[in-house]
């Protein structure tokens, strides 16, 4: 009975996170449109797109892996979210955080992107491999400073349990990792720019070019799954960063406020900077954020 109640709470939590992530995507589209001097689509446009694509069917087939790519991608976003405590001390939004740790969450982040790469690689579009190569290369570079920041956090709190890390930051805003180890936060936030793939790191979808990213041949329900995962995975990443570096959240309102401002960093950078070429992006992540990540470990060990 207890596990059934836990599953019910997890379903509610996933629905709330998906709706929030999709709404956040609509708000960001509106912000970008205003920056560009356009009116932009309505905030609820992501929901309309999902309903529309779910109602379509396609007869194109490129093999089993082509079908499984979006499924793996969604599984990565779902797994990432389900092992993160969304609201500290909440029964409904605790998810299955007691059964996992920070390393498990990081594996799920990789799993979704690798699954999508395998699915797109079996597609028929000649430019899909180009999008895959860009995406996996950039993923390898921005995960390096993020991993260094995670190592610094694990050393600082002597734990890989996310709930324990959030608990250690309670009591005062000065207990947040933002103030106790700012170098780890800087390295991680720069890595988040690559994870969110806004400009200047929008190499995979490349919106200024002819679309060449992995989802280029995904349509109908396949595309709807990817769009749904975009909302859920965005929420999962923001909640993870909030827990590790910004003290977590004790209620839903605080969670929304904190994650919105965390995401706003990517939006502001994306609106202000043009897109990098692939080699520029790779060199950037392997240089400054990686150096800052190394400094964060040295700082927490010796100071």
Per-residue pLDDT of the chain (303 residues; tens, 9 = 90+): 688 888 899 999 999 999 999 999 888 888 888 888 888 888 888 898 888 888 777 766 677 888 888 888 888 899 899 999 999 988 889 888 877 788 889 888 888 888 777 877 777 777 777 778 888 888 889 999 999 999 999 999 999 999 999 999 998 999 999 999 999 999 999 999 988 888 888 877 766 565 555 566 677 778 888 888 889 999 999 999 999 999 999 999 999 999 999 999 998 998 888 888 888 999 999 999 999 999 999 999 887
Length reported for the chain: 303
pTM, 2 dp = 0.90
CA atoms within 13 A on the CB side of 107: 7
> 300 near 184, Cβ under 8 Å?
yes
Domain assignments of the chain as residue spans, ordered by start: 2-302
Rounded CA-CA distance 16/85 in Å is 14
> 105 near 162, Cβ under 8 Å?
yes
């Amino acid at each position: 009975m207890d596990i059934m109640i836990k599953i019910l709470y997890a379903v509610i939590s996933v629905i709330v996170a998906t709706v929030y992530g999709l709404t956040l995507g609509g708000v960001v589209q509106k912000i970008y449109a205003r920056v560009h001097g356009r009116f932009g689509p309505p905030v609820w446009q992501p929901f309309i797109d999902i309903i529309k694509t779910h109602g379509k069917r396609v007869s194109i087939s490129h093999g089993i892996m082509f079908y499984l790519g979006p499924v793996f991608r969604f599984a990565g976003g779902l797994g990432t979210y389900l092992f993160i405590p969304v609201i500290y001390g909440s029964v409904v939004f605790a998810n299955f955080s007691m059964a996992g740790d920070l390393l498990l969450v990081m594996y799920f982040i990789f799993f979704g992107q690798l699954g999508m790469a395998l699915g797109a690689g079996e597609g028929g579009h000649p430019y899909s491999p180009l999008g895959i190569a860009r995406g996996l290369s950039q993923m390898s570079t921005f995960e390096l400073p993020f991993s260094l920041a995670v190592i610094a956090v694990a050393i600082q709190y002597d734990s890989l349990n996310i709930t324990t890390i959030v608990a250690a930051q309670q009591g005062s805003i000065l207990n947040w990792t933002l103030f106790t180890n700012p170098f780890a936060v800087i390295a991680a936030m720069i890595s988040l720019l690559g994870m969110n793939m806004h400009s200047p790191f929008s190499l995979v979808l490349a919106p200024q070019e002819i679309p060449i990213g992995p989802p280029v041949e995904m349509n109908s329900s396949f595309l709807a799954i990817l769009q749904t995962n975009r909302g859920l995975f965005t929420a999962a990443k923001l909640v993870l960063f909030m827990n590790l570096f910004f003290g977590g959240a004790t209620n839903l309102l605080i969670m929304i406020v904190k994650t919105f401002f965390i995401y706003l960093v990517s939006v502001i950078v994306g609106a202000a900077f043009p897109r990098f070429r692939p080699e520029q992006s790779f060199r950037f992540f392997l240089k400054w954020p990686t150096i800052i990540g190394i400094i964060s470990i040295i700082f927490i060990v010796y100071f």
